[in-house]
Structure 1
């Protein structure tokens, strides 16, 4: 998808006064705020689909914030790129919601109200995030308390739910927090007065997040040589190299599609639904990355995925494939994981003078401050291209140094 600069700010929207006729405040890429004569303001997305100009309502401002509107805008743009009509998609969602209402979903019961919470509180969130939250409810919560009245759910019921998940503490805590959020909204709606999940905070000890080990520059050379000598499937080796060259996450690389890659422009556009930030991300491909992809295209260019499974060509390579390869690598650093490649690359670039803004963009981190977030809009293309090419060149240089040192050691032992 084409990248552009958004222009609206909350101050500008707040200061917009109503006129006799509706008028637009343009944000960019077809996204705009429509200011109505009565003073209400609504986000809409205008686009062309099947040769016709169409628009779809995103939601009211300020209920839908600037950031949330842009997230939804990115999703809708991706739908258009992939041949789906956002307006038709939204109509289907609305029809399902009305059907649920006509079937008598009872907001006084936990399941009925949690569905309302999904619609009203998560309406501006991504489809993927809402699906994840609904899945947690369906699998772990509704079977136990879905039919109970909100006021009848006690801490003991919530405790029983999370105790079943004690073996997976992160999941247990996610479920507890989810129930807590549902009840926070029920309190705001004056349906209940207490939150049965709040008192259980800390009952399940969640292990501290592990910081992934990153490599020093000398270790990087040894790692790169070990990857080449492992004897793995060519596609697996290629995936590791693109992982390092692109500074992307494992899931983003393994699910890469040929339709996302433009080798003539030396860029790879990852759609928002596959990004952790739910925003589209562009990777500028170094010469070395293009060489990897050129070889890989000869192997898989007639398939959908750049790195398909060795067992089923129509699905991407499994995450475990890279995990197992990294565990087999013997280069002097135990427990080095695929995610550690991002920290390795980021540290190298920062130590060699590249700015924090450029590195954060390469990592596709979401900035919370509006000032820092502006960098995400003008993209810093030249600096990002230079950084990724520098990274690839440094990898080659350290691999060559490692190889030369290994030759010297062999000769010394022989002598």
Structure 2
């Protein structure tokens, strides 16, 4: 480490101003390794020369008179302190300049729609689930960036947004989702004082969106027909098992399909889903019924040596795709049209409420985020006995309705043959 020594500065503004250029560059020493290099064309540059780890190095401070005597000596003092601490002033300056350049480039790019919308995804959707962020980025990538991604934020006009959503008129929900997405990006840009107007705001209602339909849930008799239909599709055993666990657990499709064996404790008859995989971003515990445990025992024989309980049939290292269940539900014919995987949650919740289970228990089973402070105080492990009883009742009732449906089918066949 270099040791500080006393020295006296010698240069004055008068001497520097009077220094004339010569045929070759020459130095005017100030002291302590600080000097001014005078070039043949008259340029005068402050430079600090120092020794570090046995090697002589130098760092440029800047031009005179832009950097005066006092400022140059202040910078010299900072650099000497770095050398005394074993740090290289030249490397420090290079890092500073690279950071300034990166910030300047980021600021310049930030004014473009694509760069700013990526910033919006990171800063405004950071608390959302990975699936939701990927969905929003996919909408931007497919429908927005190709048209306005390279435009400056200020250059995007309502006509540009209109052209984007008009291309999606045949799919009005997508069109409106894209418009809202652009509107949200611009809301953030306004908050950042980058723009003053929102080009998507005036286009509300241009595309008429059909009234939303809630996911259809099944009656008790329809549950039996559905359950029997699941096993008749000729689907892969893992696909059939995933549908059944969807109903037994009352979980969302993504939560079931991404289940890992490490989350399941069959001895305790429970499945702990980590917060990062839950829509609520809170951990959720599923108490497994006897039927669910039997299903998982069979499934473990198929996939127990893999990470996922329900792996893809094409790539065992990734979970089954959402579309696999969607397609299975679409081709099932059991007397109810347009029944979706999400409808299993409403079906189970309705059945339990109609058979006397409390709203608090059902809401916990659904892992809903409660607005009520009292309800929100329940943790993922609370009301265990009631939740276990509810899910076992659900599984038993499914079996009962499936048996009734099968018996009815036998009777109807006999009646036809008679």
TM-score (norm 2): 0.69
Equivalent residues in 2 for 1:142-221, closer than 5 Å: 142-221=145-224
Partners of 1:316 and 1:120 in 2: how far apart? 28
Residue matched to 1:77: none
Residue matched to 2:265: 262
Write out the 4+ residue segments of structure 1 that deviate beyond 6 Å after TM superposition. Answer: none
Structure with larger RCO (C-alpha < 8 A, sep 6+):
1
The answer to whether structure 1 residue 105 and structure 2 residue 83 are counterparts is no
Contact 1:128 1:273 in 2 (8 A): no
Partners of 2:312 and 2:197 in 1: how far apart? 50
Q: Deviations over 1:351-371 (max 9, x none)?
A: 001111211121122223333
C-alpha spacing 1:229/1:190, structure 2 compared with 1 (3 Å)? closer
Partners of 1:236 and 1:110 in 2: how far apart? 42
C-alpha spacing 1:99/1:134, structure 2 compared with 1 (3 Å)? farther
Match of residue 374, structure 2, among 371, 374, 392: 371
**Of 272-281 and 108-117, the range deviating more from structure 2:** 108-117
- 1:372, CA displacement in angstroms? 2.8
Partners of 1:229 and 1:182 in 2: how far apart? 47
Cα RMSD after superposing both structures? 2.7
Contact 2:252 2:345 in 1 (8 A): yes
**Of 132-141 and 336-345, the range deviating more from structure 2:** 132-141
Equivalent residues in 2 for 1:221-236, closer than 5 Å: 221-236=224-239
C-alpha spacing 1:125/1:296, structure 2 compared with 1 (3 Å)? closer
Partners of 1:119 and 1:305 in 2: how far apart? 28
- 1:137, CA displacement in angstroms? 3.5
* SS of alignment partner, residue 271 of structure 2: strand
* SS of alignment partner, residue 292 of structure 2: helix
Bigger Rg over Cα: 2
Contact 1:258 1:304 in 2 (8 A): yes
The answer to whether structure 1 residue 397 and structure 2 residue 400 are counterparts is yes
- 1:346, CA displacement in angstroms? 0.8
Partners of 1:290 and 1:209 in 2: how far apart? 36
- 1:283, CA displacement in angstroms? 1.2
C-alpha spacing 1:406/1:131, structure 2 compared with 1 (3 Å)? closer
Aligned residue pairs, count: 319
Partners of 1:316 and 1:369 in 2: how far apart? 35
Instruction: Name stretches of at least 5 consecutive residues in structure 2 with no aligned partner.
Output: 1-98
The answer to whether structure 1 residue 289 and structure 2 residue 292 are counterparts is yes
* SS of alignment partner, residue 306 of structure 1: coil
Partners of 2:330 and 2:135 in 1: how far apart? 29
Contact 1:105 1:112 in 2 (8 A): no
- 1:406, CA displacement in angstroms? 2.9
Partners of 1:346 and 1:98 in 2: how far apart? 57
- 1:266, CA displacement in angstroms? 1.0
- 1:105, CA displacement in angstroms? 3.1
TM-score (norm 1): 0.69
**Of 291-300 and 211-220, the range deviating more from structure 2:** 211-220
